[in-house]
Structure 1
Amino acid sequence: MSRDATFEDGDARPLRLVAMDQEDLQVLSALCQDAVFPATEMQWQPKQKRFGILLNRFRWEDIPLADRAGRTPERVQSVLAIENVSRVASQGVERGDADTILSILAVNYDDTEEAVLLTLAGDGALRLSVEDLEVALRDVTKPYAAVSGKVPGHPE
């Protein structure tokens, strides 16, 4: 009988991070940059005041190791969970379309508006009104080779 792979099978360790202030959120934002996900993988649970996304995160933290070992860059499925969400607004996002693939450019906090802002490629955005800042990033699968085999790039 076969079993699912675990992080213990490889040398990678899953990320489990929580941001409770803007400085922490900058770290999560950097780790989420270039994460991709189908629009259908977003879920807001209003009663629990939670918004979550199952995303395919590029493993930026692994680039130095991959370069030294000659490995292909990797991605990993992760959950980005924002707590204390009272309202969700979007711009340029077709939420119900499974064929729409979104890409995160940045995750920021606007303290004057008390909102977490997810900036997406292609002028898309999500604005999550929050009572308190609490954002978690948790890897949920074993890393896998990035399909493109390349590190994401951005034109200057």
Structure 2
Amino acid sequence: MVEDARFEDGGEQPVALKALDGDDLQVISALVQDAVFPITEMTWDRTKRRFAVLLNRFRWEDRGRKGAPERVQSVLVFEDAMAVASQGIDQTDRDMVLSLLALEWAPGEDGTGRITLVLAGDGAVAVEVEALEVTLKDVTRPYIAPSGKAPDHPE
């Protein structure tokens, strides 16, 4: 009998996930909630049709364990990116640090669609894609969150 993977099976392993549909993207969205990144860490390669962000991701999967809250640097990559646009972001402020709240998927025709990076402070980045293919991969060892606290979202 084959068992489903359990949350605990991840242990201290780095995250390496791929989203190919809206349900998969919701999982990645939950893991990147409250990630922070300098505006300079967003890159769109038009020739390779790839949009990428180097994030400092809060390790939500580690919340039940003892010890200080941790972050890890992760790369979030959007393949088949046809266009990228932003709203509510001052592109000239190279010192700006953005906070990612969620990833939203709006399907279009024939597999195309728009992935929106919803940012704190009413900012957003929209990535028009030919097909949904997003990867999230941890690229450093976890480190203690500088604030020493987990992000808080009052209801």
Residue 121 of structure 1 deviates from its aligned partner by 0.3
Aligned residue type for 1:77? Q
Q: Report what 1:29 is aligned to.
A: 29
1:101 aligns with 2:97: yes
What is the aligned partner in structure 2 of residue 3 from structure 1?
Answer: none
- Give aligned pairs, total: 142
Question: What is the rounded CA distance, in whole Å, between the counterparts of 2:84 and 2:126 in structure 1?
Answer: 6
Name the CA distance, whole Å, in 1 between partners of 2:57 and 2:47.
27
Aligned partner of 2:54 in structure 1 is 54
Q: Does 1:75 align with 2:71?
A: yes
**Where does residue 149 of structure 1 map in the other structure?**
148
Partner deviation per Cα, 1:9-57 (whole Å, 9 max, x = no partner): xx72111000000000000000000000000000000000000000100
**Code of the aligned partner of 2:36:** V
TM-score, with structure 2 as normaliser = 0.88
Among all aligned residue pairs of Structure 1 and Structure 2, give the percentage whose two residues are the same amino acid. 55
Which of 104-113 and 17-26 deviates more? 104-113
Q: State the 4+ residue runs in structure 1 displaced beyond 4 angstroms.
A: none
Taking the aligned partners of 2:148 and 2:72, their CA distance within structure 1 comes to: 14
Contact map agreement 1:40 1:95 (CA 8 A) in 2: no
CA distance in 1, matches of 2:154, 2:95: 25
Offset, 1:155: 3.1
Q: Deviations over 1:47-103 (max 9, x none)?
A: 0000000010000000011xxx2x000000000000000000100112353310001
C-alpha displacement at 1:129, in angstroms? 0.4
Any idea what SS the aligned residue of 1:64 has?
Answer: coil
Q: TM-score, structure 1 length as denominator? A: 0.87
1:132-155 per-position Cα deviation (integer Å, ceiling 9, x unaligned): 000000000000000111110123
